[in-house]
Amino acid sequence: MEVFVAEASDRETMREVVSQTLKRFQVINGVIHAAGIIRPHLIKSTTKGMADSVLSPKVDGTMVLFDLFKGTNLDFMVLFSSMASVLGPYAHADYSAANCFLDAFANYSNSVAKFHTVAINWPVWKEVGIGAGSSYFAELEALLGVEDLQEEMLEKAILTDDGLEAFKRALNSDHAQIIVSPESLNQLLEQSQAPFDPTMRLSRRYRTMEGSSQPMKSRQR
Ligand SMILES: NC(=O)c1ccc[n+]([C@@H]2O[C@H](COP(=O)([O-])OP(=O)(O)OC[C@H]3O[C@@H](n4cnc5c(N)ncnc54)[C@H](OP(=O)(O)O)[C@@H]3O)[C@@H](O)[C@H]2O)c1
């Protein structure tokens, strides 16, 4: 295995990464785009710089990769999108838009390139990545005025083995977009259409605080 670190939106650096990879392995069979940043914030407090930092790895990064590989015979290109583009969660406008771009781009890519592209709308992963180890949930909890959201959401998150199985199936499908959800998608879509209520995704023990003007405490200790 060889790891190169590069800015996904920097065409020349990425071209160099591709060239170094070909020098070392002679062939590139597949490309997985998984670069991404997620920062919950309200639109009113989002600066252009903040939105750019979320949009750029996905939008510019995907276009750079596509340009570098469009004339090739890759076996696959996979774009790591998110349920956020399907559900449009509160305080994630830039992240939802960035992932919407990936979903649309997969269709575009399939209409012009020789290889197959699939965008996978992932739910939260329980054991790895953004949800498992970063400050993401702390920021979201502060924004929503709730506690222990991480624990609650990770209860419904996908396990690594199930995610890998879904990934294998996505690779073997000829769809342009695949939504992976451990929860009922219909129920999630219904909730996403309802007027915003920060507690609506939380379980019964959290909702007992509904109606309170105080920030919710998720657990009675
Ligand atoms: N994990 C989840 O629950 C989940 C759910 C839905 C969708 N996804 C999507 O799946 C992908 C992977 O998520 P993850 O959880 O593995 O995230 P992660 O652990 O935060 O990894 C994201 C990676 O993207 C890299 N990156 C960010 N901006 C970049 C840029 N401009 N150029 C190059 N690299 C950049 C980061 O590099 P640095 O470490 O150097 O910053 C990091 O290695 C993301 O696109 C995310 O949106 C994840």
Sign of dihedral through CA atoms 184, 187, 191, 197? negative
The superfamily CATH assigns to domain 31-194 is NAD(P)-binding Rossmann-like Domain (3.40.50.720)
pLDDT for 147 equals 86
Q: Count how many Cα atoms sit within 13 Å of the Cα of residue 10 in the half-sphere of its side chain.
A: 8
Compute the distance from residue 34 Cα to the ligand 1 centre, in Å.
Answer: 6
pLDDT at 202: 54
Ligand 1 pocket, Cβ-based, cut-off 6 angstroms? 7-9, 34-38, 56-57, 61, 80, 82, 122, 124-125, 129-131
Q: Which of 5, 100, 122 to mutate to test the pocket of ligand 1 (most atoms within 8 A of CB)?
A: 122
Q: How far is CA 193 from CA 40, 44, 147, in A?
A: 19, 21, 24
Which of 48, 166, 163, 64 is closest to 105 using CA atoms?
Answer: 64
What is the residue with the minimal CA distance to atom 7 of ligand 1?
82
pLDDT of residue 134: 66
Residue nearest ligand 1's atom 24 by CA: 35
- Counting from 1 in the atom list of ligand 1, the atom nearest the Cα of 37 is 27
Q: How far is the CA of 217 from the centre of ligand 1 (A)?
A: 30
What local confidence, expressed as pLDDT, does residue 198 receive? 61
Report in angstroms the alpha-carbon separations of 89 from 64, 83, 123, 140, 187: 28, 9, 12, 11, 14
Give me the pLDDT at residue 213, please: 35
Q: Output the tens digit of pLDDT for each of the chain's 221 residues.
A: 999 999 999 999 999 999 999 999 999 999 999 999 999 999 999 999 999 999 999 999 999 999 999 999 999 999 999 999 999 999 999 999 999 999 999 999 999 999 999 999 999 999 999 877 768 999 999 998 888 888 888 999 999 999 999 999 999 999 999 999 999 999 999 999 888 766 655 544 444 333 333 333 332 22
